[in-house]
Amino acid sequence: MMARAAKFLLGPAMRPFTIMACAIVVLGIMDRGHGYFFSIGTVFSVMQLFATVGLVALGLGLSMLVREFDLSVAGIVGLAGCIAVMTGVENPWLGVVFGVGAGVISGVLQGLIMTRLGLSSVGVTLGGLLTLQGITYVLTENKTISYPNMAVALGLNEPVANLLSVRSTAALAIFMLAALVMTYTHIGRDVIATGSDRRASRIAGLNTDRVIIGVFAASGASAALAGVLLSYSLGAASPVALADVLAPAAAAAIVGGVSVVGGRGSPMGIAAGVLTLCILRSGLSAIGVAPHVHDLVTGGILIFIAILDAPDLARRVTTWRLDRAERQTTARRS
């Protein structure tokens, strides 16, 4: 019974939520009833963080679902933010359209290069990342660009129902949309099929190239929206400040149960993965521990998940146990 419960909770579908629940319980205990952790302020800051990292992790996670790895999301966040800030002064929606449009175009272009030429995604999107960064530098002339429309910046961070802001509501809505598409439409099944076994899917009549281009377009759009929302709410965009979003996004997607070998994972899992990392960051600082504890704890959890997920772990442990048992028997005999 216990074993079955553990298997269910640590199984691929439930694990992201189990880890998140564990993080909440542990932080709650560490708070010792002071109410610093279980407070509206903490929830709000967790969701603010979620709005930034979440959409990038969603984009990266989608590309991992089809067994690719979209490094360029880090470049798109910066570029889309700058485009939005430059074009959306009069009408913020125009900035959103241009920013997200740039993300879609970059995703489609990279998808076309990969599928038409049969190239691996790491190489192409690394080149894409460097090129996108270059474009951002040229557009901004290597300076920080401020966004004069302060009403938008304030409006985006305006609390909704005390716990969310307009920005984090938007991010949550995108996650809901992705989850609905992945669960209830044939697109979701096509994506999973392409990620599980691309050749078999192609033989079964699925146009896998189109699926991959579509996934990269969605990944670009999602990362672009993260950049646009962040730059709007900060009231500024700069080419360098956003460069290091890739590592947390990849960590969040993998904690969220997306497998690098493709075909496994879901938007809700990714959301739980992102929330876990955000809860750790905001929660630990809310209960007043030093900032380095957060890095150490995150690193520890990632190592734990990496070992738990390692395909050869069981084999190594079994061999080691058998060896030891054998050695003991021979020792007893002699």
Partner 1 sequence: MTTRHIVLTIRIITIAAIAIFALTTPGFTSQLSINALLNAISFIGCVAVGMTFITLTGNIMSLCLGATLSASALIFLASLSAGILPAFVLTLLFGIVVTAVQGVLIGYFRANPILVSIAGLSLLIGGADLATGGVRIYPGGEGLQVFKGRVAGIPIEALYFFATVVIGQFILSWTRIGRAMTMVGSNARAATAAGISTAAAVTFAYVIAGACAAVSGILLAARYGSGDMELGAGYDYTAIAAVLVGGTAIQGGSGSVVRTLIGVTVIAIIEVVLLLRGFSQQLQYLITGLIVLSVIMLHTIGERR
Binding residues for partner 1, per CB under 8 A? 69, 113, 117-120, 122-124, 126-135, 137-138, 140-142, 239, 243-244, 246-247, 250-251, 254, 260, 290-300, 302-303, 305-307, 309-313, 316
Closer residue to partner 1 (CB): 152 or 258 = 258
Cα 118 versus chain centre, distance: 26
Work out how close the CB of 246 gets to partner 1 at its nearest, in angstroms, rounded to a whole number.
Answer: 8
Work out how close the CB of 315 gets to partner 1 at its nearest, in angstroms, rounded to a whole number.
Answer: 9
Are 284 and 293 in contact, with CB atoms under 8 Å apart?
yes
Closer residue to partner 1 (CB): 80 or 124 = 124
Work out how close the CB of 2 gets to partner 1 at its nearest, in angstroms, rounded to a whole number.
Answer: 25
Closer residue to partner 1 (CB): 126 or 287 = 126
Closer residue to partner 1 (CB): 131 or 149 = 131
Q: Which residue has the tokens 């080419």?
A: 239
Closer residue to partner 1 (CB): 142 or 329 = 142
Closer residue to partner 1 (CB): 46 or 253 = 253
Work out how close the CB of 169 gets to partner 1 at its nearest, in angstroms, rounded to a whole number.
Answer: 29
Work out how close the CB of 259 gets to partner 1 at its nearest, in angstroms, rounded to a whole number.
Answer: 9
Question: Helix 2-10 and helix 15-31: axis angle, to 10°?
Answer: 100
Work out how close the CB of 208 gets to partner 1 at its nearest, in angstroms, rounded to a whole number.
Answer: 16
Work out how close the CB of 257 gets to partner 1 at its nearest, in angstroms, rounded to a whole number.
Answer: 12
Work out how close the CB of 205 gets to partner 1 at its nearest, in angstroms, rounded to a whole number.
Answer: 24
Closer residue to partner 1 (CB): 173 or 296 = 296
Contacts of 105 (CB under 8 A, 6+ apart): 220
Closer residue to partner 1 (CB): 209 or 309 = 309
